[in-house]
Structure 1
Amino acid sequence: MQDHRSPAREFAAFPASGRPLRVVDHDGVVTVEAPGGEAVGFALSRDGGTLRPTSAPPADPAAFRDAMLAALEAVFAWSPERETVAVEAAGCEAGLDVLVASGVLARDDGRLLARADTLMQQPALWLARGDASPFPERFVLTGDRRHPLRRPKPAGVVYARHIPWLGETLTFRTATVEDDLDAFHRWMNDPRVAAFWSESGDLAHHRRYLEGLIADPHMVPMIGAFDGVPFAWFEIYWAKENRLGPFYDADDYDRGWHVAVGEASRRGGASIGAWLPSLVHFMLLDDPRTRRIVGEPAASHVQQIRNLERSGFARLKTFDFPHKRAALVSLSRERFFADRLWLPASSREAAAPAEAASPLPLAGAA
């Protein structure tokens, strides 16, 4: 007898609780499993539009919240074109109230609806520190720049996201001299990276560079990794006190970035479609007061700017740094979530092999 069942679909979620969750769908029977914990079951309608809890909620309300969030993230990832999913609340109304209060679910004509754009603004799903309150606002001076005092720098993994079209997990973690000097040294001496960064040099030079960034309160140096294998160097900065600040009307919480993709195998479109929107996603989640992400690529790098525009960035103007002529690019928080820019720029870009894709090796490079 022929088996007409669909292959199982799997997904991984990384809530702030620190316990990775495995989500499996067998023909509409969705199970969320935690290491050493009880599984939580759901039923997913055939069209993927309705999710219903089928098992008793765990005794720990936080565990049920994490399971529901993981299930919703998986459903939207499996059906990226879907904007809403209805949630049936029979028997677990109390457990869902907290999701209504946090904006994950909204009451609509007697139904509970989850929206993809509001789910993607829930830091507890991707940030290691979860949905901690924004850092209290107090203004300070750095030289002649008045800006909010910044949160102390994090340590370790700060963001994790499962990338379904790659079947891999992308993480960003803060860089350290002890763990990352050798990789940084190798990447900065790669001719393709050196052509944009102009930071080639010996190990002592790169040690000083890393130590300077780690000590700078407005910069967060990070390592990007797929399934734990490092591939890129990122520098996240607060624009107000950055060298970019005087060249435009910087908001107090604007964020910017530089990147060097050190591993050649990760310089193609399929990887870019994962790390670029995820990097923007991280910066927007890290502080809800961040309304805009900015960058300053070399004005002569036409392909780079074209790729940034395809990813949602707008080119605002061209200006002169002391060391280069640059283009100011910007992406608003509203557009990122309203236009679902956490997804790849195109299905072609998501599906194409890395070596065949249009290259964007150094998006946002210094």
Structure 2
Amino acid sequence: MPPTDASTDTGTSSNDTLDLRLSDQLGALFAEGEPVTSPPPPGAFDDDLLDSLAGWGPVTTRAGVFQLVPVRVERDLALITRWMNDPAVAAFWELAGSEGVTATHLRGQLDGDGRSVPCLGVLGGIPMSYWEIYRADLDPLARHYPSRPHDTGIHLLLGGVTDRGRGVGTTLLRAVADLILEQRPRCARVLAEPDLRNTPSVAAFLNAGFRFSAEVELPDKRAALMVRERALRDLL
């Protein structure tokens, strides 16, 4: 079962995330102007299941230019591990610990068949969030709701406390959901299943145009099934 969603808009503070620094390799990547769409190593995953996510490109949002960049473990592990050890994140993702814990979680996706792609969220050239874009219809989640072909799911955490509590999560959720619907023409719905206890996360999804569909009992949590439908995207 995918991890629980971290709160997208809490005001919880942590010294570890207030002082976010790019890893040397990631900082060099942006400083040298390497395209952020640079793909992961060949064979890392089969892009066909998610319509070549690595090539989706940037989108302009109210918060700035944003892009999903597929994770490279050798480049991004330290940064993502730091985020996973933020108490506000660890409470719902339950992946606090050493880099080995984070690496195992990432490689479980990168070495799989491509049904889930872990990404950095890069805003204004700065990595500031972690995303998992996944095929909900091919995921264990599909056993717990009436799935449809090509349903696409989102997991999200905001890494920096300065990005929490001011609507950035809501803005990016709407942008990413719209990006999925634009880039995946066979997908009619974007889904999420935040923990019901994570009220700031549920509120962020609602404000981003998702509707509450149902309470779902999952193996590791009671979740709010949130849905953003293609047919309603211009109305919500």
Q: Same fold (TM over 0.5)?
A: yes
Shift of 1:296: 0.8
In structure 2, relative to structure 1, the CA distance for the partners of 1:179 and 1:153 (3 Å cut) is farther
Counterpart secondary structure, 1:290: coil
Alignment of 1:96-107 (within 5 A): none
Please, which of 120, 127, 137 is the counterpart of residue 240 of structure 1? Answer: 137
1:307 and 2:204 are equivalent in the alignment: yes
Offset at residue 154 of structure 1 (A): 4.6
Residue identity in the other structure for 1:187: W
The TM-score normalised by the length of structure 1 is 0.49
Alpha-carbon contact 2:190-2:229 (below 8 Å) kept = yes
- The alpha-carbon deviation at position 158 of structure 1 amounts to 3.0
Q: Check the 8 A contact 1:284/1:290 in 2, yes or no.
A: yes
Q: Which runs of 4+ in 1 moved over 6 A?
A: none
Q: Does 1:325 align with 2:201?
A: no
The match for 1:280 is 177
Give the number of the structure whose alpha-carbon radius of gyration is greater. 1
Paired residues of 1:174 and 1:223 also in contact (CA < 8 A): yes
Task: State the match for 2:9 in structure 1.
Answer: none
After superposition, residues 256-275 of structure 1 pair within 5 angstroms as 256-275=153-172
Q: Which amino acid aligns with 2:197?
A: S
Determine the structure 2 residue equivalent to 1:289. 186
The separation in 2 between residues aligned to 1:314 and 1:211, in whole angstroms, is: 32
Q: What code does the residue aligned with 1:300 have?
A: R
Deviation at 1:151, TM superposition (A): 5.3
What amino acid sits opposite 2:149 in the alignment? Answer: D
Take 1:300 and 1:312, find their aligned partners in 2: how far apart are those partners?
20
What letter is aligned with 2:214? K
Correspondence for 1:206: 102
**Alpha-carbon distance, 1:301 to partner:** 2.3
Task: Supply the distance in 1 between the matched residues of 2:151 and 2:50 (Cα, whole angstroms).
Answer: 14
Correspondent of 1:170 among 56, 66, 72: 66
Alignment gaps of 5+ in structure 1: 1-127, 129-148, 342-366
Structure that is richer in helix per residue: 2
Q: What amino acid does structure 2 have at the position aligned with 1:319?
A: V
Distance in 2 separating the partners of 1:324 and 1:286? 30
Secondary structure in 2 matching 1:225: strand
Post-superposition shift, 1:189?
0.7
CA contact (8 A) 2:193 2:223 kept: yes
Choose from 115, 119, 122 the match for 1:218: 115
Q: Which amino acid aligns with 2:227?
A: S
TM-score (norm 2): 0.74
1:118-267 matches, within 5 Å, as 150=49, 154-155=53-54, 158-163=56-61, 165-166=62-63, 168-216=64-112, 217-267=114-164
SS of equivalent to 1:277: helix
Alpha carbons of structure 1 residues 258 and 241: separation in structure 2 relative to 1, 3 Å: same
1:117 aligns to what? Answer: none
Percent identity between matched residues is 28
Query: Deviation of residue 287 (structure 1)?
Result: 1.1
Alpha carbons of structure 1 residues 227 and 161: separation in structure 2 relative to 1, 3 Å: same
Q: In structure 2, what is the Cα distance between the partners aligned to 1:307 and 1:227?
A: 21
- 1:159 to partner: Cα distance: 2.8
SS of 1:327's equivalent? Answer: strand
- Whether the aligned pair in 1 keeps the contact of 2:68 and 2:121 (CA below 8 Å) is yes
Give the match for residue 134 of structure 1.
Answer: none
Counterpart code for 1:236: I
Moved more, 322-331 or 295-304: 295-304
Q: Structure 2 stretches of 5 or more lacking a match?
A: 1-36, 38-47
The answer to whether the 8 A contact 2:56-2:183 is kept is: no
Separation in structure 2 between the aligned mates of residue 220 and residue 295 of structure 1, nearest angstrom: 15
Residues 219-250 of structure 1: per-residue CA shift (max 9 Å, x gap): 01111011111000000110111121011111
Larger RCO of the pair (alpha carbons < 8 Å, separation 6+): 2
Aligned length: 189
Displacement of 1:150: 2.0
Q: 1:103: which partner in 2?
A: none
Give the direction of change, closer, same or farther, for the CA distance of 1:296–1:154 in structure 2 (3 Å limit). Answer: closer
